[in-house]
Structure 1
Amino acid sequence: MIYSRLLYTEHEQPHNNDGEGAYTIFSTQQLFGADCVPLGDMSVQKFAVLWEGQTDTRVIDLIEQSIMLTILSPVRLLNASKGTLVVVHDSKLVGENYKLFCLVWEKIAAGVMYDEWTVLFVKDTGAGLGLKGGRIFRQFAREILDNNELGIVEFTPDMFLFKDDWAPENIFGPPPGEEPEADPERIQHALGLFDEDLDSWRESATGSKPIP
């Protein structure tokens, strides 16, 4: 599903059999590090949104605002629940940058459409391990953080989505002497067709039918 012109949907995990635990992994271009300090290289940030019930697209609106205000980079996971926005951030974020990060996110959340959300800030190292956040957050946040590659990495040519499609072997075929192994089933089928053709030729040439 396309959620935003500023975000790429990397993965969508549906709800479990109990109708809980759905989340989406997003990626976006990032020029700042997890500590809100400018990076020297173009990078990509991946983060998760843990949904409760139906997808609340107001979270996407807040994310887009945070991108425009260059305050998304420390975020690892977001979860909106009953008037509270849980913001899981990288533990590298400290000092004055952390204070600024909190102030901006509190202002963004307070202006959410048709509501006013408070913000709960949680370090990524402790998310889901204590009593912070709602039941859904406590139950699923740790698993999402542990089982997905979230954070910021430098963008490289290897990340080109269609790289495999343009690999030399897919364009020009395998190198000489490295022809792909033939499928045994295809070989057997071809031999069977050859035998049938040979029997038909013998019958037409001699008038005798092959011995079964």
Structure 2
Amino acid sequence: MQNAPPQRYSTLFSTLYDEPAPVGTLGRGAHYSVLRCAEWLNVVREPLQHPQIHDFAVIWDEDHDTRVIQVAEQLYVEGLLSPVQFIGERKASLTVVVAAKFYFHGSEKVIQNYESRIIQIVEDLAFDTWNAEVGMFDRSPGSPHQNDARAIIAAEEHRVQTYLSNIDSLWALGTKPYKPSPCCEAES
């Protein structure tokens, strides 16, 4: 039996993995998808000479509100997506969780300006008015002080952190150099 292809949410992003409905008992029906795009900015939003691959996770709650994809697309076209590791909407509130490397890069004003731009995007949504907040994620072992998922999932902090860490462990989220697919390399 062949698996169905994953849901296509966007013409800007490829879907690498998709859970279409809640799995388990975390939060209010937490489940996730992993999306990929080409990225011309590195994790700290500096221009790249050659594009990288950017994988990020969409964290869904029980209603699987696909309007979050429109917001992710807006972040992408405005050059704000490169530091994003996780993005999700819950109860009309958008949570963007960025790499801790970006969060602590530069001055505090950098992250404040970044968050202000995201807030402006969600305030100008044609379909609804959402709140927005920015958290951070660090995959480094022993760095719990550099992890703050905000309200991306309505559950205990340690459970949310374990869930996000497991997703990152499976998918190595973030920006990384492009490597040709093994199926496309010349045969020896």
Q: So what's the TM-score if we normalise by structure 2?
A: 0.76
1:98 to 108, 111, 124: 111
Counterpart of 2:125 in 1: which secondary structure?
Answer: coil
Paired residue for 2:17?
11
Identify unmatched segments of 5+ residues in structure 1: 169-212
Q: Which amino acid aligns with 1:156?
A: K
CA offsets 1:45-94 (integer angstroms, 9 cap, x no match): 00001101122111011111111111100110012111211110111223
Distance in 2 (CA, whole Å) between partners of 1:11 and 1:109 is 26
How many residues end up aligned between the 2 structures?
A: 162
* Higher helix proportion: 1
Counterpart of 2:112 in 1: which secondary structure?
Answer: helix
The answer to whether the Cα contact below 8 Å between 2:22 and 2:30 also exists between their aligned partners in 1 is: yes
Q: So what's the TM-score if we normalise by structure 1?
A: 0.68
Does residue 86 of structure 2 align to residue 63 of structure 1?
A: no
Distance in 2 (CA, whole Å) between partners of 1:111 and 1:163 is 42
* Higher strand proportion: 2
Summarize the alignment of residues 27-176 of structure 1 with structure 2, pairs less than 5 Å apart: 27-93=36-102, 94=105, 95=107, 96-125=109-138, 126-128=147-149, 132-133=150-151, 134-136=153-155, 138=157, 139-140=159-160, 142-146=162-166, 147=169, 148-157=171-180, 160=181, 162-163=183-184, 167=187
Aligned-pair identity (%)? 20
CA offsets 1:99-135 (integer angstroms, 9 cap, x no match): 332121111111234321111211113135xxx3141
Q: Which amino acid aligns with 1:107?
A: Q
Q: Which amino acid aligns with 1:49?
A: V
Distance in 1 (CA, whole Å) between partners of 2:67 and 2:182 is 29
Q: Which amino acid aligns with 1:10?
A: L
Distance in 2 (CA, whole Å) between partners of 1:55 and 1:155 is 30
Distance in 1 (CA, whole Å) between partners of 2:77 and 2:187 is 36
Larger RCO (CA under 8 A, 6+ residues apart): 2
How far residue 17 of structure 1 moved from its aligned partner, in angstroms, is: 4.4
Paired residue for 2:144?
none
Q: 1:22 to 1:50 in 2, by over 3 A?
A: same
Paired residue for 2:142?
none
Q: Which structure has the larger Rg?
A: 1
